[in-house]
Each structure stands twice: as C-alpha cells, then as structure tokens.
C-alpha cells in the first residue's frame, strides 16, 4: 500500500475534521498506512496527486445496497457491486439480507465478509430479523452478531409479526446496531406503479401511499412506545415524511433515508413502460418528490441511500412482469448534487453530511471524517456535466433510471482504506 499525498485540494468537510485547511478552503491530505496522517510527515511520499481543481470529501456511506451475493450473482456480486460503489465515491455500504440463502445464518454472514476482503469498498452486513424473511420465525440475533453483522432488517419485506419486530429492536439497542425498516403493509402492497391516474391509464395494479404509510406509522409507534431507535428505509411519500417530522419533534428515536430517484424523478417516467423505472416504493408524484427535498432540507430525512437493486436485462425486458429495483451507486452523488446543490437547496457540505457523515453515525461505523488517524476513505470530484450511459457503468446490471440524463458533478478518484480503487482523472 502506497503512502499518498494529495496537494492543494479543496476540502468539503461537514464535520471540519480535516487537518491544516487554509483560508481558501484547500489543504494537503496525507495518507499513510491506510489512514489519514499529518502532511508534515509526507516527505518522500510514493505517490503525489495534484489536487488543484478537485474537491475532496469523506467517502460516501450507502445505507441500502443489494449485492445479490450469494445466490443471484448473474445480477451482481460482492466484487462487481463494490467496483460500482467505488466509481460513485462510495467507500462503505450496508448490504441487505434478501440473498439466496437469506442472511439468517452465521455461515452466510461469514461468506459475505470473507469475500468482501478483496472488494473495493467496506462491506457491512445486515442480518435478517426472521428466517428466510418469512416474517414469523425469529433468527438468533446473538449468533448473527457474533458472526459479524452490523444491522438488522428484513428489507425487501416488512417484519409481519410485530412482537418479533419489538424483540429485534430491543436486542439491536443492546448491541448498539440499527434496525432498518422496510415500511410496507403487505395487504395493500403488490402494485407495479404509484396508484392513481397513472396506474389506471397503464391498466396495471397501483401501489398506494397507504401501503408505505401504514408501515411507517407502525414502526414509529413501536419506537415511541418502547423508547427504542428505528431507521426508516427508502421514504417516498409526503405523508410518511410528515409522520417522521412529527415523530422527531416529539423526541422519537427515528432516523430516515430517501433515495436519489425519489428526489429527481416522478411517476411520469413510467409512461415509457420501461421497467428500469419500476422500483419499490415506486416513483410517485411531484408533491412527493418535493416533500423528499424539503425533508432533506429541514432534517426530517437524515440520509440519502441508493437501494441499489441490480437485475438482468432479461428480467427487466417485460414492463409488467419485471422485478422491482434499479441500480444507483455510481450515480448517487451525481444525481443528488444535480438536484440539491445545483438547485441551491443544500450546500455541498450539507449534501456530504447526508451521504457520508449521517449514514456513518446511524450505522455506528468509521466514516464521514477526514481526521488524522481515521481510515483513509475519501473521494475527489469535480463540477462537470456528463451524460449517464448504462453501458459504461461498472456493475453487472445496467438497469438505471438515470440513463440519458445529464449530471452536474463527476466522481474522479476514490480511495478506500488508503488504496486507490477508482481513478478517472484523465
């Protein structure tokens, strides 16, 4: 591993942890033995990177990723998924448990962590709350924790048995790991697009806001009643955002994430009858999109996560029968920057806070900091226009809803644990 000196780079550092930042916002950043170090020790660095014209930020932490490994590696695997992460500035990610087999045994946890040792990002594993994500039979959380999980969830499905959900929240609090909740009433769910005029016109089953809102209400109620923390996944409705805002005002220990597609796109994309725009929750209305933006602006929504969900072209070929999900790690920063920073809604520091600092805090892992002694997870970016070309993405699957769109920022270099894992400076 080479020692690296990045010279004269502008620092985007929400927590103000970078060493030696000058009045103009630039600094020299030195990486030694995989960690940030004092630039005064940088004599004889093996690699010197001229940072003029670039901006540096702590590596992104993605709270919601489906790596499809084990069991569905034709879509993605741990290595290719992390390669895509690196291309988007993501240096740490939380992989969801709906693999085949489900992450409900120590063996599967250890398989993922062992394979991730060779990956281009730090992989944190979510253990499932119920066996096989069946919603009714609890896993052995202590056993999964001992194997190395960093969070609990049945993501992909809600936990049907409320008593099991409460027990998981209590155990997670003891272990100081988060429960991330897929909020959905399964008896209202199952639609293909947002319920309303669009679903009627397309003659496909709609997914009502109430499906998400009912799940959100349940998890907030449990958090409030038992004074336990819960993290709400992929918020997409203005009504759920309102509930989370109210809960926070009342002191409920709730955090939440939304995804770049919910702040950039709406259900109008579905007129194309292209399954790459189908995900769960679905793209919704302009009112919902605006509510996600307002939620990020006022702190109701703590984080931006991708819900990166790869599928093969064959699976996505038919609009109605295709599975839900889209890829997103390579475009997450660019899309969020385009909407929020170029739209004068958030500053660059506030955006990095939502995509790096807050997710690291929620997950209780290293990250979000550029301070001496911390692992050297960092990315360089430029304000630069580029068009998303699915064929140039680094993961196995190309089902991006951002295809053909012009973005306003580009990740140019990613360093994870002191190792260069992505470099597109030339």
Strand-pairing partners, residue 402, are none
Answer whether residue 385 is part of any domain: no
Q: Tell me the C-alpha distance between 32 and 410, whole Å.
A: 26
Tell whether 15 is covered by a domain.
no
Q: Which pLDDT belongs to residue 426?
A: 72
Tell me which of 307, 318, 377, 423 is the catalytic residue: 307
- Residue 356: CATH number of its domain: 3.20.20.140
Q: pLDDT, tens digit, for every residue of 294-337?
A: 999 999 999 999 999 999 999 999 999 999 999 999 999 999 99
Q: Per DSSP, what are the bridge partners of residue 27?
A: 9
Cβ-based burial of 291 (10 A; exposed 0-12, middle 13-18, buried ≥19): buried
HSE at residue 377, side-chain half, CA atoms within 13 A, is 25
Q: Which residue has the tokens 């993961």?
A: 395
- Nearest CA to 108 out of 67, 155, 169, 164 is that of 67
Residue 397 counted as domain residue: no
Q: Is residue 11 part of a domain?
A: no
CA-to-CA distance for 373 and 347, rounded, in angstroms? 27
Q: For residue range 185-231, what is the model confidence (pLDDT) as tens digits?
A: 999 999 999 999 999 999 999 999 999 999 999 999 999 999 999 99
DSSP secondary structure letter of residue 57: E
pLDDT at 34 over 80: yes
pLDDT band (50, 70, 90) for residue 371: very high
Active site residue 307: yes
Residue 45 confidence (pLDDT) above 90: no
Q: How far apart are CA 400 and CA 332, in angstroms?
A: 11
- How far is residue 220's CA from residue 232's CA, in Å, rounded to a whole number? 9
How large is the average pLDDT for residues 350-379? Answer: 98
Mean pLDDT of the residues in the chain: 97
Q: Does any domain span residue 317?
A: yes
Q: What percent of the chain has pLDDT over 70?
A: 100
pLDDT greater than 90 at residue 390: yes
Q: Looking at the 3D structure of the chain, how many domains does it have?
A: 1
pLDDT of 59: 98
Q: Where are the beta strands (DSSP E) in 140-218?
A: 151-152, 180-181, 193-194, 206-207
Max distance between CA atoms of the chain, in angstroms, equals: 67
Please state, in angstroms and rounded to a whole number, the distance separating the CA atoms of residues 290 and 238: 8
Mean pLDDT over 137-151 rounds to 98
So what's the pLDDT on residue 1? 77
List, for residues 6-29, the tens digit of each pLDDT value: 999 999 999 999 999 999 999 999
**Cα(327)–Cα(398) distance, integer angstroms:** 7
The range of the structural domain enclosing residue 178 comes to 73-363
Flag whether pLDDT at 2 surpasses 80.
Answer: yes
Give the C-alpha separation, 232 to 219, whole Å: 8
Q: Do 9 and 413 form a contact (C-beta atoms < 8 A)?
A: no
pLDDT at 44: 73
Question: Does residue 106 fall inside a structural domain?
Answer: yes
Question: For residue 341, is it within any domain?
Answer: yes
pLDDT of residue 46: 84
Instruction: Give φ, ψ of 226 to 5 degrees.
Output: -105, 0
Supply the DSSP string of 230-284, one letter for each residue.
Answer: EEE-S---HHHHHHHHHHHHTT--EEEEE-HHHHH--GGGGGG--GGG--SSPP-
Please count the other Cβ atoms lying within 10 Å of the Cβ belonging to residue 47: 11
Tens of pLDDT, residue by residue over 94-136, are 999 999 999 999 999 999 999 999 999 999 999 999 999 999 9
- Percent of the chain surpassing pLDDT 90: 97
Q: Is 272 inside any structural domain?
A: yes
Q: What is the mean pLDDT of residues 153-159?
A: 95
State how far the alpha carbon of 390 is from the alpha carbons of 55, 86, 313, 394, in Å. Answer: 25, 16, 11, 9
């Amino acid at each position: 591993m080479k020692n690296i000196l990045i010279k004269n780079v502008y620092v985007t550092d929400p927590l103000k942890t970078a060493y030696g930042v000058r009045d103009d916002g630039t600094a020299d950043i030195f990486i030694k033995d995989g960690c940030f170090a004092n630039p005064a020790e940088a004599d004889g660095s093996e690699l010197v990177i001229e940072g003029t014209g670039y901006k540096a930020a702590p590596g992104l932490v993605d709270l919601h990723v489906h790596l499809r490994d084990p069991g569905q590696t034709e879509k993605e695997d741990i290595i290719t998924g992390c390669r895509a992460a690196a291309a988007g500035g993501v240096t740490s990610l939380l992989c969801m448990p709906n693999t085949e087999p489900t992450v409900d045994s120590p063996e599967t946890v250890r398989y993922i962590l062992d394979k991730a040792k060779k990956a281009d990002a730090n992989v944190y594993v979510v253990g499932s709350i119920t066996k096989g994500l069946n919603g009714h039979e609890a896993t052995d959380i202590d056993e999964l924790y001992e194997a190395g999980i960093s969070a609990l969830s049945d993501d992909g499905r809600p936990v049907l048995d409320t008593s099991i959900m409460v027990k998981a929240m209590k155990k997670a609090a003891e272990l100081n790991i988060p429960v991330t909740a897929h909020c959905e009433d399964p008896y209202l769910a199952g639609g293909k697009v947002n319920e309303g005029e669009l679903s009627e016109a397309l003659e496909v089953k709609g997914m009502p806001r109430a499906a998400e809102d009912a799940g959100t209400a349940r998890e907030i109620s449990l958090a409030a009643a038992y004074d336990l923390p819960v993290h709400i996944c992929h918020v997409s409705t203005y009504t759920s955002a309102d509930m989370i805002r109210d809960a926070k005002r009342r002191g409920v220990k709730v955090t939440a994430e939304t995804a770049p597609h919910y702040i950039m796109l709406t259900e109008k994309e579905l007129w194309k009858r292209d399954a790459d725009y189908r995900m769960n929750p679905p793209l919704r209305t302009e009112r919902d999109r605006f509510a996600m933006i307002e939620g990020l602006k006022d702190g109701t929504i703590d984080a931006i996560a991708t819900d990166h969900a790869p599928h093969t072209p064959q699976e996505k070929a038919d609009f109605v029968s295709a599975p839900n999900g889209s890829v997103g790690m390579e475009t997450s920063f660019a899309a969020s920057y385009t909407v929020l920073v170029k739209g004068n809604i958030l500053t660059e520091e506030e955006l990095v806070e939502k995509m790096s600092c807050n997710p690291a805090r929620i997950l209780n892992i290293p990250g979000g900091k550029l301070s001496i002694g911390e692992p050297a997870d960092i990315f360089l970016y430029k304000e630069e226009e580029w068009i998303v070309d699915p064929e140039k993405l680094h993961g196995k699957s190309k089902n991006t809803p951002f295809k053909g769109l012009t973005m306003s920022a580009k990740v140019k270099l990613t360093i994870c644990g002191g190792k260069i894992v992505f470099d597109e400076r030339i």
